[in-house]
Amino acid sequence: MEIDMDVKTYQYSGKQKIVYTNNSPDTLSVVFYHLFFNAFQPNSEMDIRLQNIKDPDDRMVNNTGTREKPVLESRISKLKADEIGYIKVNSLKQDNAIINFTEYGTVLKATLNQPLLPGASTNLAMDFTGQVPLLIRRAGRNSSEGVALSMAQWYPKLAEYDFEGWHANAYIAREFHGVWGNFDVKITIDKDYVIGGSGYLQNPNEIGHGYETGKVNRPKGDKLTWHFKAPNVHDFIWAADPDYIHDKITGENDVTLHFFYKKSLKKEYLENWKKLQPKTVELLAFFNKNIGAYPYEQYSIIQGGDGGMEYAMCTLISGERSFGSLVGLTAHEFAHSWFQFVLATNEQKHEWMDEGFTSYISDLAMDKIMQKEQKNPWLSSYQGYQYLAKSGLEEPQTLHADRYEYNFAYGASAYNKGTVFLTQLGYIIGQDNLQKTLKRYYTDFKFKHPTPNDFIRVAEKVSGLQLWWYLNYWIQTTATIDYAVKEASGNTIILERIGKMPMPIELKVTYSDNSTENFYIPLQMMYGKKETEATVLKNWSWTSPTYTFKTKKTIKNIEIDPSGLLADINRDNNTLR
Ligand SMILES: [Zn+2]
């Protein structure tokens, strides 16, 4: 792509050429593109959804009422013509011949002149113009912290075609899915603007701005053309501001970590951005060790956007943060590189595999590098999930990310329930097997868009246990876990499964002589058990609501799940004295 940006009007022109290979077994007669910026227009699908959802994102609305009686107004609905976002496609060609297309808001459907056979390639060429919207959500101009350009979802982006067909979803709210490719991008912009983004800069000594490797020799003129290459990515984003500080530090495997943040930040925030840099080196090493090697040569942490959002080789985060918050957010967004970016599950369909797995590993990383040493680093995820499960608003995780009735239910499901999916899998198969599963999953499925079944099959192979039932209950239903001690007398214990979802059970019994014994009750349909030092009892089948067993000594008290890793929604009935 070649882009020419006008920083005064926020308009840009672009030329895009794609060599598109059909790696599917199907003949393609159409292609789809995303035109994401068209969402930021009054009456767009995003705008209408924003006006109708019961708990809109507060970044996207103005409150024209009071705090007690809020009256929320869509910020998109108020955008003027020179403030909206758009991508206008001026022409589209296949192998030098014009092809016809129809626009549906944020989606473009083009009919190919020549159907594309399996294994064949074709050239698609597009001329377009764009306007950067006021920053309403994720991308746009003039962020609340004054960053000039946060350029995500900014170019006409080919949609993904896979075994499920075209993923040509309108831009309503969230989550993305893209095609792997080698990007070659030239951005022409006023020469005092500093760019951070997805690619490796090819002409650092023509640019300077902290990228130079020798003497800077800038071409004449008011603008500079930045030439980036980004191999094997499914997105390309950038941010630009004339006021950026640009720092670099080298991490494990010679990965260059770049930091872009505004000179105008308050002194305490500037200090936090400096102290963040060695912590990011530690984060890189932690993720390399616990998931697998980061496959690119650079990663950039860029002040921009409206919170934190993960992209190719970089993140845009808001920068006015306490040190703990800045490191925590960086840990989360950087961890996304392994899940959202390199594994790249379809996060519109399986958002929990992205947000949940990312939160799982970043919580663990924060516990380590900030020396927190918590008993359960995921405690807040358990609490968030339990709150969701009891709220009456939970929907199954198989629902498309945009379709949840409440943003709250989406968030708690993707992040909290997604995290608990993994921590609880550790409870089921053992923590060592969970660590092995995560690493093997990354090795086997990087750059392959894995599905939930791909992941659970890895866990089955590593553990030797049947786990399909766990995937079925946890992601396809809203069934909950609630086990109780029903009765105990003398040395007889009766347990009860009250919740619909069955699990293997760990139990700690204290006897009247104050000695203790741990028990493990395998779940029949797993056809096996994790390694345990507990006394293993007979299997419990999901068809039996109760379970009775006898101990050798008289019982004083009983506790189900002393580890706290079972997502039991009512722990009050887990103990009996
Ligand atoms: Zn995230």
Distance between Cα 329 and ligand 1 center (Å) = 9
Whether residue 263 is predicted with pLDDT greater than 90 in this model: the reply is yes
Task: Provide mean pLDDT across the span 514-528.
Answer: 98
Distance 318 CA to ligand 1 centre (A): 14
Rounded to the nearest angstrom, the distance between the alpha carbon of 336 and the centre of ligand 1 is 6
Distance 416 CA to ligand 1 centre (A): 11
On the question of pLDDT at 291 being above 90, the answer is yes
Q: How far apart are CA 32 and CA 20, in angstroms?
A: 12
User: What does the pLDDT average to over 542-552?
Assistant: 97
In this predicted structure, what is the pLDDT of residue 337?
A: 98
> How far is ligand 1, taken at its centre, from the CA of residue 549, in Å?
44
Nearest to 537 by CA among 561, 565, 504: 504
Distance 355 CA to ligand 1 centre (A): 5
Per-residue pLDDT tens over the stretch 97-119: 999 999 999 999 999 999 999 99
Give distance in angstroms: CA of 197 to centre of ligand 1: 18
| 312 pLDDT more than 90 | yes
Among candidate residues 125, 126, 234, 117, the one with its CA nearest the CA of residue 183: 234
User: 554: helix, coil or strand?
Assistant: coil
SS3 of 170, please?
A: coil
Cα of 309 vs centre of ligand 1, distance in Å, is 7
Percent of the chain with pLDDT over 70: 100
| Chain segment 348-375, per-residue pLDDT in tens | 999 999 999 999 999 999 999 999 999 9
**What amino acid is encoded at 63 in this protein?**
N
CA 402, 407, 413, 419: dihedral to nearest 10 degrees? 100
* Model pLDDT for residues 462-498, shown as the tens digit of each residue: 999 999 999 999 999 999 999 999 999 889 999 999 9
Residue 175 confidence (pLDDT) above 90: no
| Radius of gyration, CA atoms only, the chain | 26
Q: What mean pLDDT do residues 283-292 have? A: 98
C-alpha of residue 349 to centroid of ligand 1, in Å: 15
Distance from residue 13's CA to the centre of ligand 1 (Å): 31
Q: Which helix (H) or strand (E) holds 232?
A: strand 223-233
Helix (H) or strand (E) holding 436: helix 431-445
Q: What percent of the chain has pLDDT over 90?
A: 99
Q: What is the mean pLDDT of residues 285-299?
A: 98
Q: How far, in Å, from the CA of 285 to the mean position of ligand 1? A: 20
What is the enclosing helix (H) or strand (E) of 444? Answer: helix 431-445
Between the CA of residue 202 and those of 184, 190, 199, 314, 480, what are the distances in Å?
10, 18, 9, 17, 53
Q: How far is the CA of 77 from the centre of ligand 1 (A)?
A: 27
pLDDT of residue 577: 78
Neighbours of ion ligand 1 (CB under 5 A): 355
**How much distance in Å is there from the Cα of 332 to the middle of ligand 1?**
6
Task: Dump pLDDT digits (tens) for 25-80.
Answer: 999 999 999 999 999 999 999 999 999 999 999 999 999 999 999 999 999 999 99
Please enumerate in sequence order all residues whose Cβ is within 8 A of that of 412, keeping only pairs 6 or more positions apart, or say none: 384, 385, 387, 388, 394
Span from the CA of 333 to the centroid of ligand 1 (angstroms): 6
**pLDDT 10s digits, 190-210:** 999 999 999 999 999 999 999
